[in-house]
Amino acid sequence: MPGRKEGAHWRTQRRWGRQEGADWWCCGSGAGRRVLIGGHHGGRAGRRALIGGTMAGGQAAAWSCSGRPHACAPRCQGSGGSGTSTRSAAMGAGTELSEARRDVAEGSLYLDYNATTPLAPEVAQAVGDAMCHAWGNPSSSHPAGKKAKELISSARENLARMVGGRPEDIIFTSGGTEANNMVIHTACRHFHGSQARPGGSRGMPHIVASSVEHDSIRLPLEQLVKESLAEATFVAVSPQSGQAEVDDVLAAVRPTTCLVSVMLANNETGVIMPVAELSQRVRALNQRREAEGLPRILVHTDAAQMIGKGRVDVQELGVDYLTIVGHKFYGPRIGALYVRGPGTTTPLHPMLFGGGQERNFRPGTENTPMIAGLGQAAELVSKNCEAYETHMRDVRDYLEARLEASFGKQRIHFNSHFTGSKRLCNTSNVSILGPGLQGPPPFCSAVGSPTTWHRTPCG
């Protein structure tokens, strides 16, 4: 229900049906600036923005995290409108550049880590070194080309190690959007190929996805449906668990289903989806379908939000495809697609045709500096993931404890707390309840320790 309320834009989404049937996502601007407070502002983190807007007469409420252990406290408090105000805060792992922190608007601190992260210093160094010293074409046989090719091979090994796969299973892409589109393209091509075989299925390819997938899954499917090239079913997440339940996903399967795509973790609630169980159930289903001459159901997960915040192992997940997005874990804005045996065990069809790079699956001269940076970011995740996760969980829990202490249990609701569901260590989705929400003038926080923090007026 889009509308205007004294300078703020409001819209409601009934995606999880929490808190009186709706969560309020608040966005707007005031005093000549916007304050980003987390969740999903453009880019890969999704179209459902959660932006701290300015309500009439005051600055936005923005809860901040400095990226240091135990360094999270209310940064700015301002007056709000009546009703329910929902915020989603996504916290960092503590490795961001100080320059990136200083670039954030004065009076606020960056909490939009599910949208993008700054480059880790080691990553920036790897990108710069590759630009200066590995500028050759990786397809060339001279020393400059060989050096570039070696860097790409090393990065491929780092990504494979990070997700528990093999180097030959990693295909570099321009980003998560391309990787997701490649999976959908492949599934449809594979379905049509199965029709050509004797006893093959007949009809239009059908794809099942959750209702909370990123736009790079949802919009391609909607376009295929619009062009009568495929059918799609979007399975709603459970209001009790926040998950796309396995039974609900399997109930949507048809004889013509060729792909199931469910994200590994949600960028708004932080809820981790039961992808491993889904893959196991689909494998058993595929055995029966093969005997009936029905097409194989491929399983894909977009792991953009999970990598760097929790364990990701393709062997445990059992998926055919897994999307990797560098800028979600302090890497550059490129990505990769894990494919379990590309072109052999698992089908993979190119969308582009050209010079044969990436074994013809993704041709185009490789972007060596960005790939080197992605490989360095993957190495950091492999070495430090447990420390990252522990730190971010500490900061998230401290933030939530301070919010509850400040507003009281009756006025604060944590929308990402679902019984029996695990969630990302860095994500908190919060509603502040009650009429006539009002706060003091804006304050900036300087955090000292987990229990001691000081406030000084902004400006």
> pLDDT, tens digit, for every residue of 230-252?
999 999 999 999 999 999 999 99
Q: How many CA atoms does the CB half-sphere of 77 hold within 13 Å?
A: 16
How much is the pLDDT for 351? 95
Q: Does the pLDDT at position 295 exceed 70?
A: yes
Q: Does the pLDDT at position 422 exceed 90?
A: yes
Rg of the Cα atoms in the chain = 23
How much is the pLDDT for 397? 96
Q: Does the pLDDT at position 457 exceed 80?
A: no
Q: How would residue 109 be classed by pLDDT, with cut points 50, 70 and 90?
A: confident
Q: How would residue 110 be classed by pLDDT, with cut points 50, 70 and 90?
A: confident
Q: Does the pLDDT at position 317 exceed 60?
A: yes
Give the pair of three-digit tokens for residue 107: 């009076």
Contacts 24+ apart (CB under 8 A), 126-132: 126/372, 126/373, 126/375, 126/376, 127/332, 127/369, 127/370, 127/372, 127/373, 128/369, 129/372, 130/368, 130/369, 130/371, 130/372, 130/373, 131/369
How much is the pLDDT for 198? 62
Task: Please state whether the predicted TM-score (pTM) of the whole model is above 0.85.
Answer: no
Identify the CA nearest to 117 among candidates 45, 27, 214.
Answer: 45
CB atoms within 10 A of CB 153: 14
Give the pair of three-digit tokens for residue 86: 């929902």
Q: How would residue 189 be classed by pLDDT, with cut points 50, 70 and 90?
A: very high
Q: Return the higher-pLDDT residue of 436 and 295.
A: 295
Mean pLDDT of 72-95: 51
Beta bridge partners of 23: 13
